[in-house]
Amino acid sequence: MAVSRTRRPFADRLTSRGGAWVSLGLVLLIMVALFGVFGSAKAPARNDQAPAGAESTRTSELMAKFPNADRQSVLVVASRDDGAELSEDEIESLKDLLPVLDAHADADAESTGPMVSDDGMAAVLITPIKVGETNTDTAAVIKELRGDVADHAPAGMSLLVTGGPAFGADVAASFEGADFTLLLVTILIVAILLIVTYRSPVLWLIPLVAVGLADGLAGRLTAAAGAAWDLQFDAGIISVLVFGAGTNYALLLISRYREELQSTEHHRQALSTAWRKTVPAILASNVTVVLALLTLVLAVIPGTHGLGVSSAIGLLIALGAVLFLLPPLLAVCGRKVFWPFVPKPGDTRRQGDAWRKIASGVVQRPVASLLAGIALLAVMATGLFGTSVGLDQIEKFRVQSESAAGLEVLSDHFPPGEAQPIFIVANSAEADAVVAAANDVEGVVRAHPAGTTDDEALTKVMVTSEYAPSTEESLNQITELRDAVHQLPGADAVVGGAVATDLDARAGNQQDLWLIAPLVLAVSFLVLMILLRSLIAPVLLLLVNLASAVAAIGAGAWLSRVLFGQHALDLQVPLLAFLFLVALGIDYTIFLVHRARAESAIRGTRDGMVEAVAHTGSVITSAGIVLAAVFAALGVLPLVTLGQLGLIVGVGVIVDTLVVRTVIVPAIFTLEGDRIWWPGKPGRGELTHEPRERAADAH
């Protein structure tokens, strides 16, 4: 009679003596192969601000049909160092710069100027250059031009090279080495916090290696996806997400591994048990964030749309590294990797005494605790009062550049719209009517034809505004211009340019926020409902998470104004901050409440929550600090958008970790009691430690 053998669980095979080496070799082989296949992939370098179907985007597409569409004007703004009026001799000396500028001009193009401002305190020279396919390509031309201008600058005068191509070149230059700096700062932050968390000179290296490899692979796979599907996204955000989420998953697994080592002599069995016990929470956490990110594919803003798929890919790679690379590494290293604080079987030290004490105090006074937590969130949310959304082109960059300084001088002495003209493309037959209609719009300094297509079917009209770009007046003026030219029969006119793009970007970001935010909440609710098998708990937890996210955005907006003088949030910040705060906040909810459900099966809801906080308080706090610090690393990048995002998410994660999960959630569960699990109830089989009859085999 044959005797059937019980099939060994996957976790046992993953961590067994031979299985760990096989798993480790297989995972590394797969990663090396993927590195080789996708190592040369590069994502598209574009960063379109407005939706694909927006009027400003259509205008740009039509302008590409005009002759010399790759020719753009660079402005050289001249002023005296002492701020006085330019003399006749100084104006004449500026004419000597024209041959210098012509050396950099596009073929068959000539530089013009100087044009002197009405107050006589500034002058502008214009040279048309051929721009490259990317800002980086154009940067080389601008660098040479600036060098020659500096060499021929008249004494006592300041010459600043600005305009659209120069601004793009400065943007590209500001990012030189920024990604490497971000990676270095992120690794340093994670390393320091892991050393502090584990209090071991060795253990921190293992999760850092696993997550670091995941980040490297994610960078290559997301670049390949971007090239294949024409996605636009910020690689820095993906790197931060991979490091932050991957480290959080590793902290949860290793924390449970340490706990299990106090219950068994066999480290492989302890690791196997820890893997089985934490996989549901890690999977639920990852699925929540991935699904929330995938809702971004419905966004109309290209950068937001592309971030969804690329970030989801990065997080799935982080999940794979933590579940299938980290356990074999830990199994091979053994128990001594925790040195000098090696957990031993029968260790009588209680888990999380400090957190147990805090949780006990909360459940003894749930009403007062809940009101105090809500009051704090309410105070933070008041930062939303006075908060506006939308930065102009200059304000979007943390580091001042020559092009930004030149635009400021230009705006001080010329019509502010001179540096960023508005463009109208219309049928040539109605060009005169379009020019007349544009000139009748309030605030227009002048409008004039600026070229036709080769077949003379379309005419480009350049409009100069008296309003500073991206102000409320200039944005309203775009709407008035569109209303005026759209009424002309047969003109088929479209209005574009930098300010029009800004207007369309604002509308697109607002549309994305109202579409994506409810979907993120719906995804989070469904995951919580499936994980907890409850209807009441997910509703209450989601309301708390929503309140925490709003409070964090308010506090971050206030801090941006007070500490950094940023009067407004950038357009993408509210949506991305809300997405990350809700989705990543649900991570900690899952870590805590998944354990609370299991503990409640034995101790009841109130005591189960106390025990859950005791066991998860340390790991959730460590994970929160790591995630907040990693997001704060975005501040090393020159984009104000990323700095604001890092600040808001960092503040939100810390408050979520120390207040929401420690005070508000335990208070709610205490007040609701066992009703919180309705219509289900915790099963007794959810917490029990694994039987140890397989320990000898695993060892």
Residue range 228-287, pLDDT digits in tens? 998 988 888 899 899 989 998 998 899 889 889 988 888 999 999 999 999 988 998 899
**Same domain for 199 and 321:** yes
What is the domain range of residue 120? 71-174
Instruction: Please write the tens of the pLDDT for every residue from 426-454.
Output: 999 999 999 999 999 999 999 999 999 99
pLDDT score at 483: 96
Distance from C-alpha of 299 to C-alpha of 297, rounded to nearest angstrom: 5
**Same domain for 307 and 190:** yes
pLDDT score at 257: 92
pLDDT band, very low/low/confident/very high, at 165 (cuts 50, 70, 90): confident
Task: Decide if pLDDT at 692 tops 70.
Answer: no
The DSSP 8-state label assigned to residue 148 in this structure reads H
Task: Give the residue from 338, 366, 382 where a domain finishes.
Answer: 338
pLDDT score at 65: 92
Lowest mean pLDDT segment, chosen from 264-268, 526-530, 584-588, 671-675: 584-588
Q: How long a stretch of residues is the chain? A: 699
Higher-confidence position of 274 and 181: 274
Asked if 249 and 280 touch (Cβ cutoff 8 Å), the reply is no
Buried b (16+ CB within 10 A) or exposed e, 511-523: ebbeebbebbbeb
> Could you tell me the CATH number of the domain that includes residue 485?
3.30.70.920
pLDDT score at 350: 53
DSSP per-residue codes, 618-643:
HHHHHHHHHHHHHHHGGGGSSBHHHH
pLDDT score at 639: 78
Distance from C-alpha of 656 to C-alpha of 645, rounded to nearest angstrom: 16
pLDDT score at 408: 85
Residues forming a β-bridge with 116: 123
**Same domain for 315 and 273:** yes
Bond preceding residue 340 cis, omega within 30 of 0: yes
- Chain-wide mean pLDDT for the chain? 88
> What mean pLDDT is predicted for residues 351-378?
90
pLDDT band, very low/low/confident/very high, at 619 (cuts 50, 70, 90): confident
**Same domain for 170 and 213:** no
Which are the contacts of 699, defined by CB distance < 8 A and separation ≥ 6? 17, 265, 266, 267, 268, 269
Task: Decide if pLDDT at 644 tops 50.
Answer: yes
The DSSP 8-state label assigned to residue 351 in this structure reads T
pLDDT score at 340: 87
Asked if 254 and 248 touch (Cβ cutoff 8 Å), the reply is no
**Same domain for 197 and 126:** no
pLDDT score at 349: 54
pLDDT score at 7: 60
Look at residues 116, 117, 161 and name the one whose alpha carbon lies nearest to residue 143.
Answer: 161
> Could you tell me the CATH number of the domain that includes residue 256?
1.20.1640.10
Local structure of 423: helix, strand or coil: strand
396 within some domain:
no
**Same domain for 211 and 134:** no
Q: Which two tokens stand for residue 295?
A: 């809702």
DSSP per-residue codes, 176-242:
TTHHHHHHHHHHHHHHHHHHHHH--TTTTHHHHHHHHHHHHHHHHHHHHHHHHHT----HHHHHHHH
**Same domain for 153 and 184:** no
Distance from C-alpha of 280 to C-alpha of 142, rounded to nearest angstrom: 54
Higher-confidence position of 344 and 431: 431
pLDDT score at 300: 95
pLDDT score at 683: 53
pLDDT score at 296: 95
Long-range CB contacts (< 8 A, 24+ apart) of 19-25? Answer: 19/328, 20/268, 20/327, 20/328, 20/331, 20/332, 21/328, 21/332, 23/324, 23/327, 23/328, 24/325, 24/328, 24/329, 24/332
Euclidean distance between the first and the last CA atom of the chain, given in angstroms as a whole number:
30
Asked if 237 and 216 touch (Cβ cutoff 8 Å), the reply is no
Distance from C-alpha of 407 to C-alpha of 520, rounded to nearest angstrom: 40
Residues forming a β-bridge with 427: 458
> What mean pLDDT is predicted for residues 163-187?
80
The DSSP 8-state label assigned to residue 419 in this structure reads S
**Same domain for 143 and 252:** no
Asked if 50 and 501 touch (Cβ cutoff 8 Å), the reply is yes
Phi first, then psi: what are they for 568, rounded to 5°? -145, 160
Instruction: Provide, for the chain, the percentages of residues in helix, strand and coil under a 3-state DSSP scheme, each rounded to the nearest 5.
Output: 65, 10, 25
> What mean pLDDT is predicted for residues 648-663?
92
Asked if 572 and 636 touch (Cβ cutoff 8 Å), the reply is no
Asked if 315 and 286 touch (Cβ cutoff 8 Å), the reply is yes
**Same domain for 191 and 333:** yes
Q: How far is CA 565 from CA 382, 397, 398, in A?
A: 18, 13, 11
Which are the contacts of 233, defined by CB distance < 8 A and separation ≥ 6? 43, 222, 226, 303, 306, 307, 310, 311
pLDDT score at 532: 85
DSSP strand pairing (568-569 vs 388-389): parallel
The pLDDT > 90 percentage for the chain reads 52
Task: Tally Cβ neighbours within 10 Å of residue 5.
Answer: 6
Quick one: which H or E segment has residue 306? helix 302-320
Q: Which two tokens stand for residue 503?
A: 């207007």
**Same domain for 183 and 331:** yes
Distance from C-alpha of 608 to C-alpha of 359, rounded to nearest angstrom: 10
647 within some domain:
no
**Same domain for 198 and 284:** yes
Task: Decide if pLDDT at 628 tops 50.
Answer: yes
Task: Give the residue from 321, 338, 355 where a domain finishes.
Answer: 338
Which residue is it, tokens 């309410």?
378
Instruction: Please write the tens of the pLDDT for every residue from 551-593.
Output: 999 999 999 999 888 889 999 999 999 999 998 888 788 888 8
pLDDT score at 604: 87
Residues forming a β-bridge with 461: 424, 449
**Same domain for 264 and 157:** no
Distance from C-alpha of 585 to C-alpha of 588, rounded to nearest angstrom: 6
Local structure of 79: helix, strand or coil: strand
> What mean pLDDT is predicted for residues 344-357?
72
Task: Decide if pLDDT at 295 tops 50.
Answer: yes
Residues forming a β-bridge with 388: 568
Distance from C-alpha of 480 to C-alpha of 439, rounded to nearest angstrom: 11
Quick one: which H or E segment has residue 402? helix 402-413
Quick one: which H or E segment has residue 568? strand 568-569
Instruction: Please write the tens of the pLDDT for every residue from 61-82.
Output: 999 999 888 888 889 999 999 9
Look at residues 683, 118, 174 and name the one whose alpha carbon lies nearest to residue 418.
Answer: 118
pLDDT score at 352: 60
Quick one: which H or E segment has residue 123? strand 122-130
Number of domains in the chain: 3
Q: Crossing angle for the helix pair 353-364 and 605-632, nearest 10 degrees?
A: 120
Asked if 663 and 362 touch (Cβ cutoff 8 Å), the reply is yes
674 within some domain:
no
Task: Give the residue from 502, 520, 549 where a domain finishes.
Answer: 502
Distance from C-alpha of 236 to C-alpha of 634, rounded to nearest angstrom: 7
Task: Decide if pLDDT at 667 tops 80.
Answer: yes
Task: Tally Cβ neighbours within 10 Å of residue 285.
Answer: 28
Asked if 403 and 166 touch (Cβ cutoff 8 Å), the reply is yes
Task: Decide if pLDDT at 685 tops 80.
Answer: no
**What's the whole-model pTM score?**
0.85
402 within some domain:
no
> What mean pLDDT is predicted for residues 641-652?
91
pLDDT score at 347: 66
> Could you tell me the CATH number of the domain that includes residue 162?
3.30.70.360
The pLDDT > 70 percentage for the chain reads 95
Query: What is the C-alpha radius of gyration for the chain, rounded to an integer number of angstroms?
Result: 30
525 within some domain:
no
